[in-house]
Structure 1
Amino acid sequence: MTAISVTKARENIYQILSEVNSSSQPITITNNRGKNAVLISEEDWNAIQETLYLNSIPGMAESIIEAGKEPLEECSVYNPDEEW
């Protein structure tokens, strides 16, 4: 992971935001007090939040893994009118 000082980040914020969004690589922003931060794209942040949410539902991760093993021919067709 790339690390830059808060001063450099301040000087190049638009370029850094562009890099983070295009590469999906987080950047650590450091300061001299040892209180660093990590900059990630909004898209990556949303993906992390979704993963945390899904992992918080008991049995969800196992269900997703099992569904991934199911042959595509055996999968149901999505029906938006189907009651859950």
Structure 2
Amino acid sequence: MSAARFYVSGKVQGVWFRASTREQAVGLELRGYANNLRDGRVEVLAAGDAAAIERLAQWLRHGPPNARVDRLEREPAGEDEAGDGFVCG
């Protein structure tokens, strides 16, 4: 098991980014969350299989059709931060 925190910058709020991220994460059997931040970024925490997290990271580089991802930052995270399921805040 593995965990990672992502910060996604660009046109990522108001374009169904969090809901689409949740769809992707649930399909990959990941736990965690996607939250809007006050500075316009989206924070994503994902925990689960390392290969599934990598697939989510690849998807986050582009996001849903109406999004524009300018930057994707990644840092380690603790699995215990993820909770159960995958939620949007």
Higher relative contact order (CA 8 A, sep 6+): 2
Same fold (TM over 0.5): no
TM-score range, shorter chain: under 0.3
Q: Judging by fraction of residues, say which structure has more strand.
A: 2
Q: Judging by fraction of residues, say which structure has more helix.
A: 1
**So what's the TM-score if we normalise by structure 2?**
0.26
**So what's the TM-score if we normalise by structure 1?**
0.27
Larger radius of gyration: 1
